[in-house]
Structure 1
């Protein structure tokens, strides 16, 4: 049986461990706080070793570019990677379509026209099952929906291990004054529930970020925050946190710049068969401004 590759490069990247050399998936906006009467942003989307540096492969997104000469979204000859579902919400929660999309060798790019004042949310979210097992003496890997699991994975598979995986990646961009509508949680997976608006971050100040798992405070979640540009310094400068009983952390930003935040939790609580464990992760690209 051939493994299913219905999930995206985003999910494959998130399955790797977080370390200085891990592949990280990210979206990088040209700006997160804008003014003026007709603002636009350009967004880069990629998977790389170094943050915000294009050197591995692009994140393929539905409606952004075409397959071109490199349908794998990576080195020539690489396995094709399906496109991820990108959702863009306007300040009132209505959908917005990306424009001028392009799929390149190392990155995808698209534009967003900020026609309304307030905060926009750009998100890529995935949820499903991840299975490892052995077939005919060879290790197999399968990823897909719960509905397809029984059709694709043998019930008596040797060494079968099944995990539920929920991943979410977000970017927030504000035209004019920040608004709150797109910050409302969906109640599914691991989500950001900020007390400090993600477009109101300043060097030297402390931000309070909460996290929810299926709508409830997510305590004991490990959170990593890394400033961009790690390619050009000897140290990763990673800041690590663990959420408190209310699911919150407090981050004092050391300097202005772009940051990558990732939160991850693993649990067996409330997991439904055929899965026996669960992994949920959240990531965001954040811009910290000079005071």
Structure 2
């Protein structure tokens, strides 16, 4: 797919200009070659931005890729190879257990959005801002995670960071089965985030036209439950816009988070 300058700019914002989940918005992702590696001691990982789940369009060139080790400590990703469409790296899995593979929190492009009565809005089709809209400066922030298990699943790597937008798995991601419920907790700065839209994408939807496998809002406790009906790879997408941390150059941030998993 050829990207125009305008489409590429919207993509690099990490979904900054999108108003509804799953609608013509690029998303970050990190995709390991396998989610259950058996006893292999390493994994190959790709990462990119794409409009479709796991369909690379532009490489993520400045992300602080890293691992969380099975004991919960920080680990390093291998050297990154940057192609035009995607980034690739290897990660060592020296000990058994579950690892979190992550892009790390990536700050992206700065731009302008609008707010009307506290709601985020876009320009109209004629390019003019909506009536009564307040222009605000916004910077994108993206984070993409996946969990990989060598041997038996463990839980230490699932512990939330306590910063920005993230999903804490309640159901272990490497134990999700097709046709069964999987429960998660949406957090912002370590606190549950209620009433936020969550979209579940199917990788196979690129071929059969059923890209969106589920849409739901988090409950009052920040939890949500999804049921992947088919076996295969899935991507959870969440977006949240709010004030930036104290001392930030830009007053607002548009956060995008994705979690990749495989339903057996």
Structure 2: distance between partners of 1:261 and 1:216: 19
Structure 2: distance between partners of 1:176 and 1:9: 40
Give the greater-gyration-radius structure (CA). 1
Match of 2:76 in 1: 97
Greater CA drift, 185-194 or 123-132:
123-132
CA spacing shift, 1:202–1:110, aligned 2, 3 Å:
same
Structure 2: gaps (5+ residues): 1-8, 114-133
Match of 1:13 in 2: 14
Q: Among 51, 58, 61, which residue is 2:53 paired with? A: 51
State the shift of 1:282 in Å.
1.6
Structure 1: distance between partners of 2:236 and 2:58: 20
Alignment size in residue pairs: 233
Match of 1:138 in 2: none
CA spacing shift, 1:166–1:98, aligned 2, 3 Å:
closer
State the shift of 1:101 in Å.
3.3
CA spacing shift, 1:160–1:114, aligned 2, 3 Å:
same
State the shift of 1:176 in Å.
1.3
Structure 2: distance between partners of 1:58 and 1:129: 15
Structure 1: distance between partners of 2:107 and 2:81: 26
Q: Does 1:86 align with 2:65?
A: yes
Structure 1: distance between partners of 2:11 and 2:144: 9
Match of 2:5 in 1: none
Structure 2: distance between partners of 1:127 and 1:23: 15
Q: C-alpha deviations, 1:243-268, integer Å up to 9, x for none?
A: 00110111112011100111122346
- Do the aligned partners of 2:108 and 2:142 also contact (CA within 8 Å) in 1? no
- Do the aligned partners of 1:271 and 1:277 also contact (CA within 8 Å) in 2? no
TM-score of the pair, normalised by structure 1: 0.70
State the shift of 1:92 in Å.
1.7
Q: C-alpha deviations, 1:55-112, integer Å up to 9, x for none?
A: x22222xxxxxxxxxxxxxxxxxxxxxx211121211233333336322232221111
Q: Among 161, 171, 194, which residue is 1:219 paired with? A: 194
Aligned pairs for 1:11-50 within 5 A: 12-17=13-18, 18-36=21-39, 38-50=40-52
Structure 1: distance between partners of 2:191 and 2:100: 21
Structure 2: distance between partners of 1:169 and 1:9: 18
State the shift of 1:24 in Å.
2.2
Structure 2: distance between partners of 1:168 and 1:51: 15
Structure 2: distance between partners of 1:27 and 1:258: 12
Q: Please, what is the CA RMSD of the aligned residues?
A: 3.0
Structure 1: distance between partners of 2:248 and 2:89: 39
State the shift of 1:203 in Å.
0.6
Structure 1: gaps (5+ residues): 1-7, 61-82, 134-158
